[in-house]
Structure 1
């Protein structure tokens, strides 16, 4: 029922706010059936004549809406940026998006988004792996040595970000942020995602670091383990 209301609101939104747009898509959690009480509507607008892409947040008919406005070429630079950082935000929205207003160019854009999602961001080269391995090792050592619970909470959060990134990028997989960290891991390996979540949950709820340390060392092992001695940048 909420999905239908969202779709009708989205259609009304483009008729009122972007009547002259060339194409529009409804994306986000509503399209996947994963909406919650606080979910907003992600709407992508395409306009042929546009000086620069932009994003705007607003309320419409009591719905929070995030609107992403693009020309038929501006999305390409965002695709490139998303591939480089390893998080396919725009590709995912466009690929999954429900068409609100169609255009002859829209199908090819959706196909390109889907192809990029399937291909992944590309594996890191050896130099990047060494750099990421070093920083992951450094945060792990901070985590192990930390005696201050308040500080440890935030070190653990940073470690989770770096560890999930290392796991996924070394396997040519897309990464996430916030709730998408777990979702990205689950999409890659559901069992591993469970181990990952439990390890950090054990630390946050019980103060037990062993699961996090064991998992991080296991992930680093195929690449030579923790890295400190011999590492240099710019030498």
Structure 2
């Protein structure tokens, strides 16, 4: 029988007591904190701890990210000092996929240290501002999508068609999410963030993904691109 959220919280705390006993903040994230677990879901844990906690953990003096197993569960550990968390969060923001800030703000706190409110407030403020993407960066994405569309229209090799469709899906999904002023995700989180940010684009890409004929799929993708600013066909400085 799958564990309940309360049971998962208990496992997480037991793990932290064994591996990171000096952790001051412990946040349970992902599906383990929302009740959307599947049989293969892991436990996402964000920890804030003093530098001494990282001795012998396989990371550096301010952070360690590793996968381990405990009590029958696969645990994905994201452990940082305060400085390490802010540094890696800045990198996340720059990538437009702020995994750590979202984990901190949307996860379930199991233990909160003196730093918790400050870090969570800082992360929430940055997330609220949304991604900063200028017109040239958006045009560059449209340029790449235009190129993919042309390639898909000419492709006959099934393997190439599959690769182009995958890249087109990701490119159009990301452009739609950014156009809506939302942060990106990857994997299943790309689909979830797309559905939340732009349901119309999500429906269009679902039709695109379901269309077996590559020419018809390209036509569907072109329609969505037009809604997002259209093709970039003219002279363009990348």
Q: So what's the TM-score if we normalise by structure 2?
A: 0.88
State the superposition RMSD in angstroms.
1.8
**1:193 has 2:202 as partner:** yes
Judge conservation of contact 2:51–2:62 (CA < 8 Å) in 1: no
**1:184 has 2:193 as partner:** yes
Q: Which position in structure 1 is the counterpart of 2:58?
A: none
Q: Which position in structure 2 is the counterpart of 1:134?
A: 143
Task: Select which of 220, 232, 236 maps to 1:227.
Answer: 232
Segments of structure 2 that go 5 or more residues without pairing to the other structure are: 53-60
Once the two structures are overlaid, the 10-residue window that deviates more, 155-164 or 95-104, is 95-104
Take 2:175 and 2:196, find their aligned partners in 1: how far apart are those partners?
15
Take 2:227 and 2:199, find their aligned partners in 1: how far apart are those partners?
21
Residue aligned with 2:113, SS: coil
Judge conservation of contact 1:182–1:197 (CA < 8 Å) in 2: no
Q: Which position in structure 2 is the counterpart of 1:210?
A: 216
Judge conservation of contact 1:163–1:216 (CA < 8 Å) in 2: no
**Stretches (4+) displaced over 4 A:** none
Residue 190 to residue 226, structure 1, CA distance change in 2 (3 Å): closer
Q: Which position in structure 2 is the counterpart of 1:117?
A: 127
**C-alpha deviations, 1:32-83, integer Å up to 9, x for none?**
2211100101111111226221201110011000111101121112222222
Q: Which position in structure 1 is the counterpart of 2:108?
A: 98
Segments of structure 1 that go 5 or more residues without pairing to the other structure are: none
Residue 105 to residue 120, structure 1, CA distance change in 2 (3 Å): same
Q: Which position in structure 2 is the counterpart of 1:83?
A: 93
Judge conservation of contact 2:98–2:183 (CA < 8 Å) in 1: yes
Judge conservation of contact 1:200–1:212 (CA < 8 Å) in 2: no
Q: Which position in structure 2 is the counterpart of 1:27?
A: 29
Judge conservation of contact 1:26–1:43 (CA < 8 Å) in 2: yes
Residue 48 to residue 2, structure 1, CA distance change in 2 (3 Å): same
Task: Select which of 44, 51, 69 maps to 1:49.
Answer: 51
Residue aligned with 2:183, SS: coil
Q: Which position in structure 2 is the counterpart of 1:108?
A: 118
Judge conservation of contact 1:24–1:43 (CA < 8 Å) in 2: yes
Residue aligned with 1:69, SS: strand
Q: Which position in structure 2 is the counterpart of 1:4?
A: 6
**C-alpha deviations, 1:102-138, integer Å up to 9, x for none?**
212102212222223322112x212212222211111
Q: So what's the TM-score if we normalise by structure 1?
A: 0.89
Residue 212 to residue 94, structure 1, CA distance change in 2 (3 Å): farther
Residue aligned with 1:153, SS: helix
Task: Select which of 131, 134, 152 maps to 1:143.
Answer: 152
Number of matched pairs: 228
Residue aligned with 1:25, SS: strand
Judge conservation of contact 1:199–1:211 (CA < 8 Å) in 2: yes
Q: Which position in structure 2 is the counterpart of 1:40?
A: 42
**C-alpha deviations, 1:188-222, integer Å up to 9, x for none?**
122331221122122xxx33542443343443455
